[in-house]
Amino acid sequence: MHLPTGRHAELVLPELETHFILSITDGLLILVHEQTRAMRLFNPLTRCMSADFPPTLLEIRKMSCYAITAVAPSRSIVEQPILMIALDNGNVAYFAKPGDQTTLQIQLPFCITSALFFKDGFYCTDKEGSIWEIKPDQKSVKCVFYHDIDGRSWHLVQSRTGMLFIDFCPRSAGTCNDAFRKLNVFKFDLNANTIIPTNDIGDCTIFVGLKQRALLVTPTKISIKRNSIYISYAPSFIYHLKDRSTESNEKLHKLIYCPNIMMNLGVGLMCMVCPSSPN
């Protein structure tokens, strides 16, 4: 779907008849072949399928119900993208490229709660809200912003000009208003390694899934609220940044309770996928 105009197209993807969707990240599907169990990256727009990842990466993914994933895109025709997988209950990040025979493991002093690739590194949050930079080529891990507040939910989201840092605690609140009165959005300043409060993300909408995040340009012809945050897992709410008001969103809850159904494909593009289940 092209969000600014509301135009959309349905794509038939025969690849999903032989693969199931393991995860979705950065506009790419992480697929597993049902017979060979080979893990691959798949672009649903170009229908380009990557070479196989190391088999150990799939075995690692089976160790937990949820995995945080991010992809460093290729910057040339010959360069391969880098896939990062981290389990929500472990303190190790795993990296591999399509065609690799082995997986790089980097021990972490924390458990990752969200991740994205930005500029030259993978940026992650931990359970206390600190932000870390991981560079697999240098095997380096560095804390770029220190935070020490437990019991909340932290998310990094890429914006048009940088990164946004979202902080909220819905599980401890009994109602929509209680939950989102505690929601905060910050701009992350990489140069100063600090966060700046903001209540304005322009004509954009942030969708927060259980393990997937996407910053989307707000459409003009479909009913998605701009300068707002949609929380897409139970309870589903909309938070309006300008006046800090909230509203329930039952339709959103029914549509995208599964965090793997929406993904950002670039400026103004969104894709919805009906995920398959492994046999």
Domains located in the chain, CATH noted: 15-272 (2.120.10)
What element of type H or E holds 19?
strand 19-25
Cβ atoms of 141 and 111 within 8 Å: the answer is no
The CA distance from 143 to 63, in Å, is 26
Contact 154, 163 (CB under 8 A): no
How big is the chain by its Cα radius of gyration, in Å? 18
Residue that has been written with the tokens 């103004």 in this structure: 268
CA distance 227 to 51: 39
- Per-10-residue mean pLDDT of the chain, 279 residues long, equals 61 87 80 91 88 87 74 77 87 94 94 89 93 95 90 81 81 48 84 92 77 57 76 73 80 44 47 49
Query: Phi, psi at residue 18, to the nearest 5°?
Result: -115, -5
Q: Enumerate the β-bridge partners of residue 118.
A: 121
What DSSP character marks residue 7? B
* Helices and strands (H and E) in the chain: how many: 4, 23
pLDDT at 126 (0 to 100): 92
Nearest-angstrom CA–CA distance, 210 and 23? 12
Residue by residue, DSSP assigns 225-259 as -SSEEEE-SSSPEEEETTTTEEEE-HHHHHHH-ST
In this structure, are residues 163 and 186 in contact, taking their beta carbons and an 8 Å threshold? no
Output the pLDDT for position 106.
96
The pTM is what?
Answer: 0.82
Phi, psi of 256 (to 5 degrees): -130, 45
Report CA-CA distances (Å) from 20 to 26, 34, 42, 94: 18, 7, 11, 21
